[in-house]
Every structure is written in C-alpha cells, then in structure tokens.
Structure 1
Amino acid sequence: MTGMDRPRRLRRTPALRRLVAETSLEPRQLVLPMFVADGLDEPKEISSLPGVAQHSMDSLRKAAVEAVAAGVGGLMLFGVPRPEDKDGIGSQASELDGILNRGLRALSEEVGDSTVIMADTCLDEFTDHGHCGVLSADGSVDNDATLHRYVEMALAQAASGADLLGTSGMMDGQVGAVRRGLDAAGRTDTGILAYTAKYSSAFYGPFREAVGSSLQGDRRTYQQDAANRREALHELELDLAEGADIVMVKPAMSYLDILRDIANESTVPVAAYQISGEYAMISAAAERGWIDRRGAILESLLGIRRAGADFVLTYWATEASHWLS
C-alpha cells in the first residue's frame, strides 16, 4: 500500500470523524408528530407505539413545551375525534371547535412564538369510513369534492394558528386548491408542506391505532404504488407548480431512493416522515434486546438525512434532541 491508500486515517479518532462528517443530525432538523384526542383528561398510551400517547389538551401543552425546550424544529398535530363525531364528510375537521383546531390554538398559545406549528390537512381521522376524502355514490373517493373540503380545513387550521399545512391526502390538485383558498382569504403567509410522494404502505399500521382509524378497505387508488419510482418525480413537478413551500416523502425507511430523487430535483426544502411502523419495529427489537436502541434510532435518522431530507418527522424527536444536545 502507498501513502495514498489509507482512508482509515480520517476515521481514527472521534475528533477526526466529527471533523470530516458529511451529514449532520441536529435537533432543529427533527419534527415531532403529536396526537390530541377529544374527551381525554389524561394522556392515553398507544400500545403499538411504546412511549407515544394520545394527548389530552393539558398533556399536549406540556409535551410541546418539553419538545421546544429540547430544540426540535417543529410540531405536527393530528386530531382524534370521538367516534360519534365522525361522519361521511369529516365535518369536525373544519369546525373551529373541532379537536384538531382546538389543539392547534393550544399549541399556538403555548409555544407558537418559538417553533413551527404544522397541521395534518386530511380528512381520514374525521370520516366514518376512514378514507382521506369524500366518497362518491359508488364508494370511490371523489377527488374534486374532496378538494373543497381540504380548502375548508385549511382555512380553519390557518385561523387556529398553523404555520404549515400538511396536505397528506394525495388528491390530485390538492396543493393548488389549498393555495388558492388560502390566498383568496388573505392567508398568504400560511405555508404548505406537501405530502408529495406518499406511498401505500404496510408500515402505517400503528398510526391507525393512534388516530382511531375507521378505515374500510385500503387507499391504493390514491396513495402511490410502492413499485413506482418515476411517478414520484411527476408528483414533485405538479406540487412545485401548484405552490408547495416544502415537499415530503412518506414513508422514509423503504423509500430512501425516492427521497434522494426528490432531493436532487426539488427547488424547495425536502422533508421525510419516519412513520409509525418504522418506530414500532426498532422499538420492538430494542425491547427484546436484539439491537442497541439509541444507536439504531440515531443511525436511522442519520440515514434519512443522508438520503436528502432537510428535516425528519419522527416520534423520537424530543428524545433524540436531548441526546444530540
């Protein structure tokens, strides 16, 4: 070997490795998804997501303060209505006194000046059929009728304090419809976090428990097919043209190639969502002593960052931020 053939020189000490690290992982790059449930007086643990809970309004405020103190970049809020408040069009989603909008106001009051508040702009938690949109007479999801509901949701969420709206339903034209609706109402400062490439995945299972999903059937007619890669770039082109401020890939783990493709082409920041199934798998393996929990969490997050995410939605955001700080 010649002197030119020893890349291990730069791996020899922690200080050297830190000096030449190509990818960083910082608290500001982590966003905490949170669930607020109607009718709770105290938090309720989600069995398939150890350490994650449906929050009461009081515990939501407390957890938000802790997350912000740890340095997280933002909070993404999901609402969980009472089963009896669900209906075919997800009426509660756009009501100012609905659980999600009340939760957004609580976050805005508690931590609104010190973090980025994001809202899930989708109907699935609020519909009695569990789909992300309004159904046609034949039971299929009516894309264009759903867009009207998304605009109504968006206006309520913006009025309730959301900085970014997460258009997660994968309806065609959703970003443009929401942008036009916000602008027409004078909400030009409210941004859109577009779920640009959201794939139909087996790894959403624990999330369905977290939001008390009423899903009947599946979402394959509107979420992307796991077999397709080029299609994600088509979705990116559309979302950028419609005014997306940030684009996102979901899930992260099995779609790092998609994330890299999007990051290579996007002219706006790129996010990725480390979803419930990813969290559950690492948690379960760690509980059995099969992997090092902290090491696996940080490595998984670093891998998502390395693939091109400017920030990552992860249920470990607060805990990982404490470690990184």
Structure 2
Amino acid sequence: MSKAQFPSIRMRRIRQTDWVRRMVAETRLSVDDLIWPIFIRDGENEREPVTAMPGVDRLSIDLAVEAAKKAVDLGIPCMALFPNTHPDKKTADGNEACNPENLVCRATQAIKSALPDIGILCDVALDPYTDHGHDGLLEDNTILNDETVEILTQQALNQVEAGCDIIAPSDMMDGRIGVIRDALEFAGHTDTLIMAYAAKYASAFYGPFRDAVGSGDRLKGDKKTYQMNPANSDEAIREIALDIAEGADMVMVKPGMPYLDIVRRVKDNFHIPTFAYQVSGEYSMISNAAEQGLIDRQSAIFESLLGFKRAGADGILTYFAIEVAEILNS
C-alpha cells in the first residue's frame, strides 16, 4: 500500500489544466450571488460621476430604470437603492425618509412598474436624510435609540408601500428588527423580507459611500456608539442572534473583506442566508489600484468575490455586479 505522501501524492495533479481546475473547484461564483447597489439622484437623464468611486454614477430615476433593465438581462436578481437627497430636504429628524414621494420610493415604483420580477432592496437608516449625517436622531451629541426606531419603522413601511421587496435596516439601533417586523405584520406585509445589517462595523471603508449619498461632509463626530467595534467578534454573534430572534430572514456582515472571519462564524453558527457587503472603500481600492496598473482588475475582482463565497456568504452586495455578470455570461 502506497504511503499518503510525496511522490504518491502530488497535489499539482489537480491544478495542471483549466478543465481540471474547474472540475474540482470547491467554490463557485454565479450571477445569482450578486446584489447591485446603485445611487439615485434627482433630475431627468442625469448621470453624475461619484468622484470617490471610479466608474460609479448617481443616476436619475429614468436612467435607474434603464440600469435595472440591464441587470435583468444579465440575470442579476436584486438591486439595492441609495438616495443622494437634495441638501434642502435634509433635516435634523430626517423626516424625508418617510415622504412617499422621496427619491427611493419614486425609484422603487418606477423600477417595479417596468420590471416587476427584479428584487428591490431598500436601506433603512436616516443618514441620507439628516443634516448631521447620522443614522439616527441626535440630541446633545447622543443618538436616541428608541425614538430613532419609531421613525425607522415609518420609513420601512413607506418603502414597502412603494414596492420594496427587502427591507434592510443598516442603522444598528437596538431592537429595530423586532419593531419593524411587528409593524409589517400588522400592516399586512407578511411576505416582506428583512435583511438585517446585523454585524455592521464602525469602519474606515465607508468614506466613498458617504460621498455618494452626500452625508460625509455633514457627519458630526463618528458612529462608534452604535456601529460595532472592529476588535470584536463574539459581539457580532450576539447581534445576529438577536436579529434572527426578532424576525430577520437574512443577515449581512459589513464591510466584507476585513471581516471574512465574521462571515464564516455567522454561517457556521446560524445556517441562515448570509450576505456580505463589498463596500465602497473596497471597491475604490481595487478600482484605483487597477487604474494605476498595480493589479489586474478582473483577477482582483473575482478573487475578492470568491473570498466572500469561500467564507460562507450566500450572496454579495457589490458595485462590480454588472461587470462581473457580463464576464460570467460571456
């Protein structure tokens, strides 16, 4: 009997050709794994580049509908909508979030009217709507948890009435999943999905996103009193257990690449649909490095996304979604 060691065992045998590598691949990436986040702005036929995110634009609603048609043609199952709210509509209480005619609601209505079979995910948080840039109500430099949950619940119902399929609270207020779930049930929205930003860290990788939605230059202080400490892992498990108990159908880890260990722990502990957000800072690092010729763009994109899948993510929110889908379909 041969011994299980070299030369009887040569691991390179399963790497020597493309067809063998494909045949024995443990992790696979498909278009079905992708959620495409886009940014919405006012206007008509308006496309405004996001300076901090090369290749990403803020789109007026008519162009967002065209973008959604492209996503459907490529087989992308879901889009996430984020508004760049006009500064005149930003207030201390973020009440524009509850306006049924706000950007996100109008965009949701337009996309679902044209393309009823694509999934629409809407963020629930106040930072695109507040004049101080925080996700919740601010009083004397303190975020008011319970009062914020009340307005977040109104925001969630507002988005569902517009046609949103997945409510995604990203605010990190305590107890908001349970309150929103109860409100959805009471209003008859029993089939609405909740994807909880259950482990959202106070990260340095959000900067370009804040530029895209127009909240970065308004932010007073930081978000460390409600977003998670990057040093903590067990705390993420507690957060996710609470959100599942309160009625979340799916959970998300954000950011992605610096927190792949959290993705793995979540999947192993809870066996629930688990998503990771390849956030704006991750996108911009890859894009800028590729533009400077420091890395191969396509290889780096696919390696990063395979890393999410290998860690246990069932799906990925990524600004590369269209580019990746085009390559996969080719």
| TM-score, scaled to structure 2 | 0.96
Matched, 1:159 2:157: no
User: 1:247 — aligned with what?
Assistant: 251
**Aligned with 1:224 (options 201, 224, 228):** 228
User: 1:11 — aligned with what?
Assistant: 15
Letter in 2 for 1:161: G
Letter in 2 for 1:321: A
SS in 1 for 2:202: coil
User: 2:132 — aligned with what?
Assistant: 129
After superposition, residues 77-116 of structure 1 pair within 5 angstroms as 77-113=81-117, 115-116=118-119
Deviation at residue 139 of structure 1 after TM alignment? 2.3
Contact (CA 8 Å) 2:275, 2:317: kept in 1 or not?
yes
Question: Alpha-carbon deviations, 1:22-79, whole Å to 9, x = none?
Answer: 1110011011001111245411010111111111011111111111211112100111
Matched, 1:172 2:174: yes
Letter in 2 for 1:247: V
Runs of 4+ in 1 over 3 A off after TM superposition: 1-4
Contact (CA 8 Å) 2:43, 2:61: kept in 1 or not?
no
1-10 vs 177-186, which moves further: 1-10
Deviation at residue 153 of structure 1 after TM alignment? 0.5
Describe the shift of the 1:80–1:2 C-alpha distance in structure 2 as closer, same or farther (beyond 3 A). closer
Question: Alpha-carbon deviations, 1:139-167, whole Å to 9, x = none?
Answer: 21100001101110111110111110011
User: 2:67 — aligned with what?
Assistant: 63
Matched, 1:150 2:165: no
Alpha-carbon distance in structure 1 between the residues aligned to 2:8 and 2:238: 44
Structure 2 unmatched ranges of 5 or more: none
| TM-score, scaled to structure 1 | 0.97
User: 1:316 — aligned with what?
Assistant: 320
Contact (CA 8 Å) 1:27, 1:324: kept in 2 or not?
yes
Question: Alpha-carbon deviations, 1:82-136, whole Å to 9, x = none?
Answer: 10001111111111101111111112112222x2110011111001111001123
Contact (CA 8 Å) 1:251, 1:273: kept in 2 or not?
yes
SS in 1 for 2:137: coil
**Aligned with 2:238 (options 234, 240, 246):** 234
Q: Aligned residues, how many?
A: 323
SS in 2 for 1:119: strand
Cα-Cα RMSD: 1.1
Alpha-carbon distance in structure 1 between the residues aligned to 2:86 and 2:270: 39
1-10 vs 255-264, which moves further: 1-10
Alpha-carbon distance in structure 2 between the residues aligned to 1:134 and 1:140: 8
Alpha-carbon distance in structure 2 between the residues aligned to 1:168 and 1:132: 8
SS in 2 for 1:319: helix
Describe the shift of the 1:298–1:205 C-alpha distance in structure 2 as closer, same or farther (beyond 3 A). same
